[in-house]
Each structure stands twice: as structure tokens, then as C-alpha cells.
């Protein structure tokens, strides 16, 4: 996994789809308010000038006041409720990737400004008209309040797009691939053979400098990944491996992100490692040569990943002393 440079890491696709749906909902609510705004101006002009010409859209608004009110109410509730639900789920999603910056990534100046702008029309109420001149004045106030509401929706739309970009950047920064050192990180004296006290002492020496990934395999063909972080305690990993198991130590720890042009070393099969975004658990997958593309697609949404050729020459193999597992 060397030379993994430019990463194409990003949020889960489900979140991207939800963001697009929210943007569409906000845009629909804003478009309907523009329609009402234009209708109120047209009706005001009709009442104040006595112009007999009335557009079909204005006639529709006049003939269907209940439908207009219901559409406005549904779109208003959909985009406001959708925004708060989206922001809540965005925080939850970020908690799996960048928990320290989750709140910062979903904050934008547009949110309090939008709250203020949509609050003004909700607080102000016009009086019911008792004459033709009162109706014209009332329509002027309604049009002004609609203009304020349209401005608020526009500001929120700007904010959602900005927050989306902030979230993408936060995840990309958290999952930027680390450059691996050359030569191989496992030192030459890290020998194969028996995973005895001396072998584990070499493990302890290695993790003073880097993370180390181990694959423990038993006679039943069960495989389990163990990741010892830098300055971690190898004893905890050692205690979980049964006698007779085979341990493979790989020179490259898991990486985050994925370069679009990256290709694994040629091999007939690979040991695949995926660190789940939900709980950080390490999952093993046997990957055939024809399954590499599908595995790399899964790696894009994993917290970290590794793809190691079976029988790789730079891997170190040792067997835990003791009876073969029965």
C-alpha cells in the first residue's frame, strides 16, 4: 500500500443523497414562496389600478386559497423539519469520523440569520382588511413578509451547501492517507519462526516506531486482525491468540482514504482489512484478484483499510508455540 497519496475520501453516499434531497426541498419551498410573492404583487396591482387583465396563475391562487395554504404549510414543515433532521444526522455521522470537530463542521453563520429571517414573518401579523385600500395595504405587507421569508430560505440554501463542503473537508482531512516510509517498516531483525518471548520482544520494539497489524489464523481457517497502535501494549494482543495459531505481521499498517489510481501488487488472493465506520471493529475479508475493485469500493467508506497479498515476501510469519487448536 505504498505511495498512497491523493485521497478520494468522503462522507457515506446515503448522507450525500440525503443532502441532495434537502437542497431540493429547500429549493421547492423557496420557489413556491416566489410564486406567492409574484401573485401578491399582481393582485395588488389589479386592486389598485382596476386593471381587468388577470393572469391564469393569479386566478388559480384566488380560486384555490385552501390548496395554496396547504402547499405552503407542507413545504414549510418539510424543509424546516428536514434541515434539523439532516443536521442531527450529520453530527451523528461526523461523530464516527471526526468526533472532536463534529459541532464545528455543522456550524455556519447562515443558520442564525435564517432563523431570524423566518421568525420575522411568523411574529408579524397584518390586520384583516375592511375596505379596498386596506386590502392593497395588506397585500403590500404580505409581499414584504414573503420577500423576507424568501431571503431567509436563500440564506439557508447557501448555508446547507457550505456545511456540506465543510463536512466533506473535515472527513477528507481526518482520512488523508499517511505516507509510508521506505524501506519496509518492519526491521530486518524481525524474524520468522516461533512467536515466543523473543518474537514478541521484537513486536514491542517495532511498535515503538509505528502501528503494527497482525493477522492471527487458526487451523479451522478462522482469521482475525489485531492492530497494535504505536506505543501500545503487545501483551493484550498476545493473550488473545490461542496456541498453535499462525501470526502474520505485515510491514504496512492500515491506511485511511484511497488514491483513485492506486493498484495493489499482483497476487492471486489478498488478506483484506476493513475498519468499520460504525464501531471501529476490524473485519477480515478474503479477496480474490477479481474482487479487488469491489473491496476498494468498500474501503472508501471504511475508517481505515489494508489489502495484503497472500504470501507477500515482506510479511513475517510465526507460529504460537503449543498444541494445535482442536
> Three cell numbers at 141?
405587507
Strands across the sheet with 269-275, in order?
282-288, 269-275, 304-309
Range with lowest mean pLDDT among 35-49, 276-290, 293-307: 35-49
Closest CA relative to residue 226, chosen from 270, 193, 178, 235: 235
Q: Counting Cβ atoms within 10 Å, is residue 259 exposed (0-12), middle (13-18) or buried (19+)?
A: middle
- Residue 314: what are its φ and ψ, rounded to 5°? -95, 5
Predicted local distance difference test score (pLDDT) of residue 186: 47
Note the pTM of the prediction, 2 decimals.
Answer: 0.53
Predicted local distance difference test score (pLDDT) of residue 114: 94
The answer to whether residues 29 and 75 touch, using CB atoms and an 8 Å cutoff, is: yes
DSSP state of 265: P
> Three cell numbers at 320?
504460537
CA distance 118 to 84: 15
Handedness of CA 265, 267, 273, 274 (dihedral sign): positive
pLDDT 10s digits, 93-102: 887 777 666 7
Range with lowest mean pLDDT among 131-140, 235-244, 301-310: 131-140
CA distance 265 to 312: 9
Residues near 104 by beta carbon (within 8 Å), at least 6 away in sequence: 166, 170
Q: Tell me the mean pLDDT in the region 214-232.
A: 85
pLDDT reading at 139 higher than 80: no
> Three cell numbers at 219?
487451523
Amino acid at each position: 500500500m505504498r505511495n498512497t497519496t491523493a485521497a478520494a475520501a468522503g462522507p457515506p453516499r446515503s448522507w450525500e443523497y440525503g443532502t441532495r434531497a434537502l437542497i431540493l426541498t429547500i429549493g421547492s419551498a423557496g420557489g413556491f414562496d416566489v410564486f406567492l410573492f409574484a401573485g401578491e404583487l399582481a393582485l395588488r396591482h389589479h386592486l389598485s389600478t382596476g386593471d381587468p387583465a388577470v393572469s391564469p396563475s393569479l386566478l388559480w391562487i384566488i380560486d384555490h386559497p385552501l390548496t395554496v395554504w396547504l402547499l405552503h404549510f407542507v413545504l414549510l414543515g418539510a424543509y424546516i423539519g428536514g434541515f434539523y433532521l439532516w443536521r442531527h444526522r450529520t453530527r451523528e455521522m461526523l461523530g464516527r469520523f471526526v468526533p472532536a470537530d463534529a459541532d464545528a463542521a455543522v456550524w455556519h453563520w447562515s443558520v442564525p440569520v435564517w432563523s431570524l429571517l423566518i421568525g420575522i414573518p411568523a411574529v408579524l401579523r397584518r390586520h384583516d382588511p375592511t375596505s379596498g385600500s386596506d386590502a392593497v395595504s395588506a397585500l403590500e405587507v404580505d409581499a414584504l413578509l414573503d420577500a423576507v421569508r424568501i431571503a431567509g430560505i436563500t440564506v439557508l440554501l447557501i448555508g446547507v451547501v457550505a456545511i456540506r463542503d465543510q463536512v466533506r473537508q473535515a472527513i477528507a482531512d481526518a482520512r488523508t492517507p499517511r505516507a509510508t516510509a521506505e524501506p519496509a517498516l518492519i526491521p530486518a531483525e524481525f524474524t520468522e519462526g516461533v512467536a515466543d518471548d523473543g518474537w514478541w520482544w521484537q513486536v514491542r520494539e517495532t511498535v515503538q516506531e509505528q502501528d503494527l497489524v497482525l493477522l492471527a489464523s487458526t487451523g479451522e481457517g478462522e482469521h482475525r486482525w489485531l492492530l497494535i497502535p504505536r506505543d501500545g501494549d503487545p501483551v493484550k494482543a498476545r493473550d488473545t491468540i490461542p496456541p498453535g495459531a499462525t501470526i502474520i505481521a505485515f510491514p504496512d499498517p492500515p491506511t485511511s482514504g484511497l488514491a483513485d489510481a492506486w493498484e495493489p501488487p499482483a497476487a492471486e488472493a489478498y488478506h483484506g482489512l476493513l475498519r468499520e465506520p460504525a464501531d471501529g471493529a476490524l473485519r477480515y475479508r478474503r479477496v480474490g484478484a477479481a474482487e479487488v475493485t469491489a473491496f476498494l469500493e468498500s474501503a472508501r467508506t471504511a475508517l481505515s483499510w489494508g489489502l495484503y497479498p497472500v504470501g507477500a515476501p515482506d510479511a513475517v510469519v510465526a507460529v504460537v508455540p503449543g498444541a494445535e487448536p482442536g
